[in-house]
Each structure stands twice: as C-alpha cells, then as structure tokens.
Chains A and B, each alone.
Chain A
Amino acid sequence: MVEEQVEMLLNGDFAVAWAWKHVEPDVVAAFPITPQTLIVEKFAEFVANGEVRTQFINVESEHSAISAMVGAAAAGARTATATAANGLQLMHEILYIVSSMRLPVMMAVANRAVSGPINIHCDHTDAMGQRDAGWIMLFTEDAQEAYDTTIQAFKISENPDVLLPTMVCLDGFLVSHTAMNLKVFGNPKIVKDFVGEVRPVARIKLMGEEVELSLNPRNKIPLTFGPFCYYDYYFEFKRQQIEAMKAVPEIVERVNKEYYELSGRLYGNGRLVPWNVDDADIVAVVMGSAAGTLRWVARKYRERGTKIGILKVRMFRPFPWEEVQKLLENKEVVAVFDRAQDAGAMVGPLSLEVLSALYYSKNRPKNTVTYIFGLGGRDLTPELAEKTFEELIRIKEGKEKPFIKKYIGVRE
C-alpha cells in the first residue's frame, strides 16, 4: 500500500537531511564541505531543535568524521555521514577500514571535482577515487532519488548478509543545490518501520558462544575490532568481503521493490534503470543527473523514429556487469558517458567497467565509444547531447569512423 506523502520543495542536500530525519540515525558526524554542507547544516538544525534524538558529533576533519563512524558503528549504532571531493579523499584511508570491519555506515557524497585546480562543481572523480574501497556505491539522478536512496541505503547496508557501507552519490549543485518538488513520507514512522526502529546487529559464533558483532560490553566474549592480521588470514577476510558484495545485487533489488510498495517510486531493478534499451540501436550508458538530460534529448529522437535508449547505472559497486552485458547485446552503437578524469587510462572508470563486461560477451555491440564530459561542472547541455547523438547516428550508418574516446564540451 502506498503510504501518505507530502510534497516539499527541497534541493538534493536537504532531501538527504530529511531522509536522515526520518531514519533518525543514532550518530551523525560530518565536516562541512561544499556542496555537501547543506546536508549537515540542515540536519544540525534538526538536532538543535530537538526534532531528532541523534548524537551529532562535531569533528575537526573528514578523517575524524569517518573515524567517529567506525567507533559508533562498531558499538552497534546506526550511523550516517556526508562529504564531497577533497573531504572524501581525506577519508580514503578509513573507507577501507569501515568496509573491512563490516560496518554498515551510510554516507552521502555530493559529487564534486577534486582539486586542483580548486573547483567546487560536479564531476564523479571524487567517488571514482574510492571505487576499490569495498563500499556499495549508488548514484542518484535528482533530489527525489537522493531522498529515497538514502533511506534504502540503511536497509541495504544493515542486512546481515551484507554488512557493508553504502555511498549514496548525488551530483554536486546539479542535484545538491537544485530544488525540486518532491515527496517525503508524512509520517516518519513509516520510514522507521521500513529500516527498523533500531539497527539490527548481526550475531556471530565465537569460541562456541553466540555473540553480537559489536563492542557490546554485555557480550559473553568481548570482541576486538581492527586487530593486526598477518598474511596467514588477511586474504581470507578479503575473500569474505567479496562474498558479501555478491549478496548485494539481490538485496538492492529487494529493498528497491519494498520501497516502491510504500512510496510508489521504482528505480529500475535498483541496479540499472534502462529507458527504451530493449529495441534500441544506439544506447547511451550514464550515471547521475546527466541521465535526465540524455533521456530528454533522446525522447525527441524517438519521436522521429531513431531508436536511442538510455541505460542509467544506479549501482556502480558492485558493478552489475552480467546485466550490462545482456542489455547491450548486439547493439549497433554503445556510448559510455563518463564524468570522471581518465588521465593515463584508456577510458573513464565507468567505461572501463562496461568494456570489461563486453569483452566477455558473445554478442558484443558493433561499436563501443566513450565520451568524457562534465569535468569541474562543465555543462552537458541538450545541444551538446544532440551533437553527440548525431555523431552516434553517423557511426551507426557507417558514415563516420568509430573511436575509443572523445571529450564533450572541452575547447580543443
């Protein structure tokens, strides 16, 4: 049954803050950094007003913010933080520790270009620098999806088969600071029932006893989190993390579906959001807010009978490579739109994933190209999108040679 919701004018950052308000994490620690600042600013207001009972920890850096998450989550708390760009880079070291300690931390990232030169606007380079840190990574397209996905993230991460942290990415400014009319639940209890009133803490077998996987002093056997581990067992612990990641796709799908039943909003299967991909000759693969622009332009082509489809990747980690492979089978032209730096690499990080998946496809697309776009907040305007679509059509018709990678919107 779809629950009662109220319409609000919120930007992406406020949408995340409202999602937190409805989830009411036990502990939030964050350090302000544009374009994420509005999230913690708004949430600090909720805390100061006594609207939530969350413990808000003021910290002196992002490194401390994420370290506070480690302590709180290891103690069994439901935790959330937010950051962007250089703040995320400063967290880098601890991100691996969070995932290896299997702590279900929720983190919002308002994607921003990484210095230097210093720039506060959107690209995905900050998140891509963390792609091997063992986190689940979900990319959202607008403020509504940021609200919905933030709520879902707690439930995905805290699932006892997963116990991995989730990063919810929203494009800096394009989503974080762009207001839209969106729907939030009128009754926060609906959200609390959805994620569970308190964080479920996993139970493990240890020395013949069943204990909570937390620093709970009432545990029969006290646990040590984060001890030294030699070459004799390190690899086995990493292998466990790989196994936990394997459980994620199905749980993301289930949570997406359960959330749909409450909200009426569905994001594909939670992992991928295909738009007119099945019958398409040309498919653009993209993440974040640019998906909306590309769909909007593609619609016009569809009306004229040109079969363009848009495949939005919502879940970047774990990467749903088998599904991507299947969806792109036998296509005439696949174009991957990558909003991250590629210096020294063959293509951008999203494209590397897609190309790897396609390498093992028995029915590889005839042409696959990569566009790097939008670095440092450079706009992907509908006009630019149209120009690239024209190029893709020419490739499909054999009028133009395919290429490995091109840049959209840079002055050459």
Chain B
Amino acid sequence: MSGGELKKWHEIPIAGIPWKFSTEYKTGDWRSERPIINHNKCVKCLFCYIYCPEMSIKINWTSDGSRPEKVEVDYEFCKGCGICAEVCPVKAINMELEKR
C-alpha cells in the first residue's frame, strides 16, 4: 500500500508513472513473517546485507567506521521474504510469524 490519503484518478499522473520516491512506498506492510536477529549469534559477516532484495538490513558501524557493530532490520521496508535467514551462515536470523 502506498500510504497517505488516496488520490482520485485525475489527481495522479498518467501512464502508471509513480509520483513518489520509492522510499515512500513502505514495503514493510507486505510482511507475514518477521526476521529476528539474534545478536548473540550474529558474527556480522554482512551476508544478509548483501542478499536482502529490499536494502532493509541496516548496519551500525563502530565509531571509527572500521567494522560493523550491530546489524539490524529496517521493518518499514523489510517484506519478510526470509532470504537473510536463509543465507545467514550461523543461523542467527529467525523468521517469526508477524503479529499485527
């Protein structure tokens, strides 16, 4: 869903052109499963970051910027596809049923 107030047919551009930036399309509300990262297990390899199709893995870097300190999921855009859980080499990500 695009969020916000829904416009009428003559209020939007023609030809199916999107009229907002892609960051305004919250793909997060498609999710039926939610990836939960177990930070005790995570080795910060960033596989999940590379594979996530929605760029929904956020990296918090250490203050000197030399290595990742914490890896988190951006739930506004995470669509719950489970790819991150699949590729995680240490099985640090668990997919849990989304409750809304």
Task: Report if A and B associate in a common complex.
Answer: yes
Interface residues of A (CB under 8 A from B): 100-102, 163, 204-207, 213, 223-227, 229-230, 232-233, 235-237, 239-240, 243-244
Q: Which residues of B contact A240 (CB under 8 A)?
A: 9-10, 12, 14
CB pair A225–B16 under 8 Å, yes or no, is yes
**A224-B18 in contact given A230-B2, A232-B2 (Cβ < 8 Å):** yes
CB pair A227–B18 under 8 Å, yes or no, is yes
CB pair B13–A227 under 8 Å, yes or no, is no
**A236-B15 in contact given A230-B1, A230-B2 (Cβ < 8 Å):** no
Q: Which residues of A contact B6 (CB under 8 A)?
A: 232-233
**Chain B: minimal CB distance from A181 (Å):** 42
CB pair A205–B15 under 8 Å, yes or no, is no
CB pair A204–B17 under 8 Å, yes or no, is yes
Closest A residue to B6 using CB positions = A232
Cα A239 to Cα B9 with chains together (Å): 7
Q: Which residues of A contact B16 (CB under 8 A)?
A: 100-101, 225-227, 229, 237
Closest B residue to A214 using CB positions = B15
State the majority secondary structure of interface residues on A.
loop
Q: Which residues of B contact A224 (CB under 8 A)?
A: 17-18
| Interface Cβ pair total, 8 Å cutoff | 58
**A213-B2 in contact given A236-B8, A236-B9, A243-B9 (Cβ < 8 Å):** no
Interface residues of B (CB under 8 A from A): 1-2, 6-10, 12-20
What are 24 A-B pairs with beta-carbon distances under 8 A?
A100-B15, A101-B15, A102-B14, A102-B15, A163-B15, A204-B13, A204-B17, A206-B17, A213-B14, A213-B15, A225-B15, A225-B17, A232-B6, A233-B2, A236-B7, A236-B9, A237-B9, A237-B12, A237-B14, A237-B16, A240-B12, A240-B14, A243-B9, A243-B10
Closest A residue to B20 using CB positions = A207
A-B pairs, top 5 by smallest CB distance, nearest first, are: A236-B9, A239-B9, A102-B15, A204-B13, A237-B16
Find A204's partner among B1, B10, B14 (CB 8 Å cutoff).
Answer: B14
- 16 other contacts beyond A204-B17, A213-B14, A213-B15, with CB at 8 A cut-off? A101-B15, A204-B14, A206-B13, A207-B19, A223-B17, A225-B16, A232-B1, A232-B2, A232-B6, A233-B2, A236-B7, A236-B9, A237-B14, A237-B16, A239-B9, A243-B9
Cα A163 to Cα B20 with chains together (Å): 23
Cα A236 to Cα B13 with chains together (Å): 10
Cα A235 to Cα B7 with chains together (Å): 12
CB pair B1–A163 under 8 Å, yes or no, is no
Q: Which residues of A contact B12 (CB under 8 A)?
A: 233, 236-237, 240
Cα A352 to Cα B64 with chains together (Å): 74
Q: Which residues of B contact A227 (CB under 8 A)?
A: 16, 18
Q: Which residues of A contact B14 (CB under 8 A)?
A: 102, 163, 204, 213, 237, 240, 244
**Chain A: minimal CB distance from B77 (Å):** 14
